[in-house]
Structures are given as structure tokens and as C-alpha cells.
Amino acid sequence: MKAAQARVLLTGATGGIGQAVASSLISAGASLMLAGRSASTLAMQARTLQDSAGESRVTWHAADLANPAQITTLAGVAADWNCNVVIHNAGVANFGRFANGSAEETASVLGINLVAPMLLTQSMLPHLLSQPAAQVMCVGSVLGRLGLPGYSVYSASKFGLRGFAEALRRELLGTSVAVQYLGPRSTRTGFNSPEALAYNQATGTQSDAPDVVADALLKLLESRAAERFLGFPEKFAVCLNGLAPALLDSAFDKHRASLA
């Protein structure tokens, strides 16, 4: 689908990647419904985008994706707006030794990163299937195919999101709806905690600017390809991990040693 034909519901619109994606899509001619928790922040972001795109191409709706009722309401508003692309970009971070985590943190990460996109997709699906062409795009992570020490819960959420996207893509094959997955590597935004940044520095982990992710997402939208991962050696590690995951276990000694 060309960006100019896309009417995009973008969750997590006010975050670092979300802002870059919103700007990229607007520049390419898409129409946007921004979604996030803060009405005031969304309204400010929408006004900025409207200055360049016009009011008719940008709207917003505040919703807490931890609340299933608000997910249902968001889906209805997006359907009434005639959305034909859903970008699941909202997410929460989690880093540290699994043994030190809490039940509440685990439930929150899985709820926002995995359950919420599933529920929103399920609510939107009847409308999307009625469109001549539609897309569901999941912004995941390289850690959705490559588990690293310190990211047990986060990886579980992104492995689950990638599995959901893969299974639903196959389920909907032959319909008007394409399902896609984008796996960025570490990205330079406020999403990363100081501990995660120190871990990246200690392990030599490279990172990308949000604009790199936004550009990749735009290309994925227009290509309708199934999935794409970003970065080297991350893309190579993803492939190797898929073929023989146990061979990589000893490659992460430095990562284990870098955990507090």
C-alpha cells in the first residue's frame, strides 16, 4: 500500500519511535490517528503535524491499552474513521535479572507488549477485512527472535508478538489483510533505562536513531513484506539463532557478566 492511501492508527504515538514514525508517515502522504495515554501530549503532537499536513489528515484518541474497555473503544473510533492500517508501536521496557523482577512488572510488560496488540487487532479485524486492502504492523524487536540475558520478560513479550504476527499472517493469507513484523535493534530513545544503556556500552551493542526505524517501517508498509529486522550483526544473529539457537548460548558470556 502506498503511504498516501494509508489511514493509520498508530499506538505509542508520543514515544521516541512513535514521533519519528508519525513524522515519516505524514511526510509520505499518509493520514494519521495518533493514540497514546496523554490527551494533552497527543493534542500538542497533532497540532504540530497539522501545521504541515492540514487538519483533515491528523486526528488523535487517548486510550490506556492496559484497559480492555478502552481498547474496544479505540477500535470503534478507528473503524469509524475508516482506518486501513494498524501500527502496534506502544510498548514498555523491562531489563534486569529475571530473579529480581516482580509479578506486577511481568504482567504489565506482557499485557502492554503482547495482549493489548492482540485485543486491538481482534477488535479491528472485522473492519479491516471489509477494506479493499489493509495491514496490521507489529513493531517488535530483534529480541523477538534473539533472547538475551537481562531481557527474559521483554523477550517473551516480543517473541509472543512475533509469533502472533506470523500465525495471523498465515491465517489471513488470501484475504485483504497483510500482517507484518518489524524488529528494530536498540534505538536511541528515552525507552532505555540507565542500566540498559550501561549494559549496551559494556557489551558493545550498537543502536539506531528513531528515524532509521521510521524509515524501515515506511518501506515495510509500502512493500507489504512479512517481516524485517534491523542492524548488523543482529540480522545475522537472528538467522543463526533460528537455525541452531544452542550454538549461540556461549556467545553471551559478556552479557551475563554485565548484569547487575
* Weakest mean pLDDT among 130-144, 182-196, 217-231: 182-196
Sign of CA dihedral 206, 209, 213, 215: negative
Q: How confident is the model at residue 2 (pLDDT cuts 50, 70, 90)?
A: very high
Return the pLDDT at 178: 98
Q: Give the chain's mean pLDDT.
A: 95
**Residues 12/16/17/23 CA torsion (nearest 10 deg):** 90
Task: Give the tens place of pLDDT for each residue, 127-177.
Answer: 999 999 999 999 999 999 999 999 999 999 999 999 999 999 999 999 999
Q: What is the pLDDT of residue 247?
A: 83
The 3-state secondary structure of the chain reads CCHHHCEEEECCCCCHHHHHHHHHHHHCCCEEEEEECCHHHHHHHHHHHHHHHCHHHEEEEECCCCCHHHHHHHHHHHHHCCCCEEEECCCCCCCCCHHHCCHHHHHHHHHHHHHHHHHHHHHHHHHHHCCCCEEEEEECCHHHCCCCCCCHHHHHHHHHHHHHHHHHHHHCCCCCEEEEEEECCCECCCCCCHHHHHHHHHHCCCCECHHHHHHHHHHHHHHCCCEEECCCCHHHHHHHHHHCHHHHHHHHHHHHHCCC
- pLDDT for the residue 58: 98
Distance CA 46, CA 40 (A): 10
Between CA 103 and CA 113 the distance in angstroms is 15
Could you tell me the three cell numbers for 95? 531489563
The answer, yes or no, to whether residue 52 has pLDDT greater than 90, is no
Tell the residue number behind the cell numbers 548484569, with chain if given.
Answer: 259
**Residue among 56, 71, 60 nearest 14 (CA):** 60
For the segment 76-93, the average pLDDT, to the nearest whole number, is: 98
Helix axes 39-53, 16-27, angle to 10 degrees: 20
pLDDT of residue 183: 97
Average pLDDT over residues 190-214: 92
The span from the CA of 224 to the CA of 35, in Å, is 23
The confidence score (pLDDT) of residue 91 equals 96
Report the candidate in 120, 214, 225 with the shortest Cα–Cα distance to residue 178: 225
Q: What is the mean pLDDT of residues 199-224?
A: 95
Query: What is the reported pLDDT for 240?
Result: 87
The pTM for the full model equals 0.96
Give the whole-angstrom CA distance, residue 55 versus residue 78.
Answer: 16
Q: Which domains does the chain have, with CATH numbers?
A: 3-257 (3.40.50.720)
